[in-house]
Amino acid sequence: MEKTFMTGNEAIAEAAIQAGCRHFFGYPITPQSEIPEYMSKRLPKMGGVYLQAESEVAAINMLFGAAGTGARVMTSSSSPGISLMQEGISYIAAARLPCVIVNIMRGGPGLGGIQPSQSDYFQATKGGGHGDYHLIVLAPHTLQEAVYLTMNSFDLADKYRNPVMILGDGYMGQMMEPVSFPKLTPRHTPKGWALTGAKDRPANLVKTLYLDPEALEKHNLVINQTIQKIKKEEVQVETYHTDDAEIIIAAYGTVARIAKTAIEVLRNKGLKVGLIRPITVFPFPCKIFEELADRRFLVVEMSFGQMLEDVQLSLGRKASVHFYGRTGVVPSYDEIIVEVEKLVK
Amino acid sequence: MNPSENPLYANVTMAGFGGQGLMFIGKLLAYSAMKAGMNVTWIPSYGPEMRGGTANCTVVLSGREIGSPVITSPQALIIMNNPSLDAFEARLQNNGHLFLNSSLVTNETRREDIKVVRIPANDVALEVGEKRAANMVMLGAYVEQTKVVTKSLIFEGLKEFFGKKMEFLDVNKRAFEAGMRCVQDGS
């Protein structure tokens, strides 16, 4: 297949277009501004809409409205901007509307910095906005995987009527790597709920207000059943050299690919080290951790320990779990090697 | 295996002033290697940078899947100015190659365990007729020394990058070849 040399931001944008996304609402912020830039060049030429909103708050509400029509829609931002969007994301989840939100994480809290980070894991996987909901959260580790996951995210959003987040980091957005775009047949789930003008059919209603407590609970139960189904059917995880591993690194995204190099070097030194790499960080791949709970674990993140908590929950209290984290700085494979060697001593 | 011991593996960090074209030659090198069927990654330093500030990028080329695109101790350094030498020389691997633009780098390296290749890139670029092509002179020297890709692949890549601006294409080719000759004459 023909390969194109692109940045991660461009690759995600192109993948979304090829998956049928024709409407994008956003606001620039480093290190993801190339996504809106790419969309602004491409979408108008294809009969789509690129709209630069006056703020992230406006962008997410535009996305809310456009998603209500059943169109394939996307926004992208980076950590502080994603925080501003949380109210709208909660409303979209409440209204059960499919859409794709890209977070190319940078260091926080507050305005933080513009270097890569993974410190929005809690926000992405545990809620972020108010109320009982979850996003489906996909965490690619290479640009090719970012293409596949972005293409698939629209199908997932439609299938479950649930917003999907692509969780990347600044390195993934800025780096370049060859990618190819597979020919795609999008699964177009019928959208009988969409607001399309109600000509010759009863009116549809998209809303998030349920003042009758029983009606609210009934509505939330539907959302929850959807989440339970997602947990059962949509887990994606990669295991790498885990069969004989005595020490297993748990990492996702860019850190996972750095860990792969560390594992290659450590195996060459005779140390049995493997990797569990969650591809969906929600739903979290609990089962594989349970199965391998007798091994020793090293969780590595570009945060001070967020996915760590899901790993600990999955493994139970008796497991041996260690942690290495950098924030604002990308850990090198040499650092990971040192951490693993400390465990062996 | 340590990735550096893989015969089909190379990495290089390039650093200089913003505007010296380091990002460009990094992309060109990666793109050309991709055309040869290799896996490649290109990572820029990114930040609030501008013309005259410092800029660097790291390229990894491999016959196999690339794990870490982040390289702490590169096999080679292309250094275009004094501040970049200060910032990066300590990181170069033992026996690594240090490509110095000796037209601008006046400081001496403190390392004795490395191979230093001095190329007066700005002067050479002026001789071929385009003072802004010092980056291509350095890339020519790097490619001649390491043989990670062929000249013809770089030239094909240049054609892609420059499109119809033929006058720039030719002078950049000449600068690249002049850089190659610097290494041939020096060895």
pLDDT tens digits for range A90-102: 999 999 999 999 9
- pLDDT at residue A285, rounded to an integer: 98
| Residue among A190, A95, A179, A185 nearest A143 (CA) | A179
B3–chain A Cβ distance below 8 A for any pair: yes
**Does B2 score more than 60 pLDDT?**
no
Q: Which of A113-117, A328-332, B31-35 has the lowest mean pLDDT?
A: A328-332
- A152's tokens: 């698939």
In this structure, the number of other CB atoms found within 10 A of the CB of residue A87 comes to: 15
List of residues 6+ apart from A223 with CB closer than 8 A: A93, A94, A96, A132, A133
- pLDDT at residue B163, rounded to an integer: 81
Query: What class has domain A4-233?
Result: alpha beta
Summary mean pLDDT of chain B: 92
3-state secondary structure of A37: helix
- A203's tokens: 């009116």
Give the C-alpha separation, A67 to A49, whole Å: 13
Q: Considering only alpha carbons, which residue of chain B is nearest residue A170? A: B46
- Per-residue pLDDT band for B1 (boundaries 50, 70, 90) equals very low
> Do the chains contact at A177 and B40, CB–CB below 8 Å?
yes
Average pLDDT of the residues in A160-172: 97
- % of chain A residues with pLDDT over 70: 100
Strands (E) across A134-218 are located at: 136-138, 164-169, 176-179
> Do the chains contact at A332 and B68, CB–CB below 8 Å?
yes
Residues B114, B50 contacting (CB under 8 angstroms): no
Q: Cβ-count burial of A328 within 10 angstroms (0-12 exposed, 13-18 middle, 19+ buried)? A: middle
Average pLDDT of the residues in A242-265: 98
Average pLDDT of the residues in A9-15: 98
- Dmax (CA) for chain B in angstroms is 45
Element (DSSP H or E) covering residue A273: strand A273-278
Summary mean pLDDT of chain A: 97
Which whole-number Å values give the CA distances from B28 to A3, B41, B59, B97, in the listed order? Answer: 15, 12, 10, 20
> Do the chains contact at A257 and B34, CB–CB below 8 Å?
no
List of residues 6+ apart from A225 with CB closer than 8 A: none
> Do the chains contact at A262 and B30, CB–CB below 8 Å?
no
| Residue among B18, B20, B22, B2 nearest B71 (CA) | B2
Tracing tokens 């992230």 back to the chain, one arrives at A56
Average pLDDT of the residues in A196-224: 96
Angle between helices A86-94 and A56-68 in degrees, nearest 10: 10
A177–chain B Cβ distance below 8 A for any pair: yes
In this structure, the number of other CB atoms found within 10 A of the CB of residue A41 comes to: 11
pLDDT tens digits for range A69-97: 999 999 999 999 999 999 999 999 999 99
Q: Tell me the nearest-neighbour CA distance from A46 into chain B, angstroms.
A: 24
- pLDDT at residue A261, rounded to an integer: 97
| Residue among A88, A90, A78 nearest A114 (CA) | A78
Break chain A into its structural domains and give their ranges: 4-233, 238-344
> Do the chains contact at A178 and B66, CB–CB below 8 Å?
no
Query: What class has domain A238-344?
Result: alpha beta
Q: Which of A231-245, B82-96, B155-169 has the lowest mean pLDDT?
A: B155-169
**Does A107 score more than 90 pLDDT?**
yes
Q: Which of A26-35, A193-202, B44-53, B157-166 has the lowest mean pLDDT?
A: B44-53
- pLDDT at residue A184, rounded to an integer: 82
More confident residue, A164 or B52: A164
Query: What class has domain B3-186?
Result: alpha beta
- pLDDT at residue B6, rounded to an integer: 53
A69–chain B Cβ distance below 8 A for any pair: no
Q: In which order are the strands placed within the sheet that holds B39-44?
A: A4-7, A176-179, B39-44, B54-62, B9-17, B76-79, B97-101, B115-119
Report the residue from A175, A260, A262 with minimal CB separation from B43. Answer: A175
Break chain B into its structural domains and give their ranges: 3-186
Q: Considering only alpha carbons, which residue of chain B is nearest residue A258? A: B68
**Does B82 score more than 60 pLDDT?**
yes
- Per-residue pLDDT band for A122 (boundaries 50, 70, 90) equals very high
Can you say whether the dihedral through the CA atoms of B155, B160, B162, B163 is positive or negative?
positive
- pLDDT at residue B164, rounded to an integer: 76
**Does B50 score more than 90 pLDDT?**
no
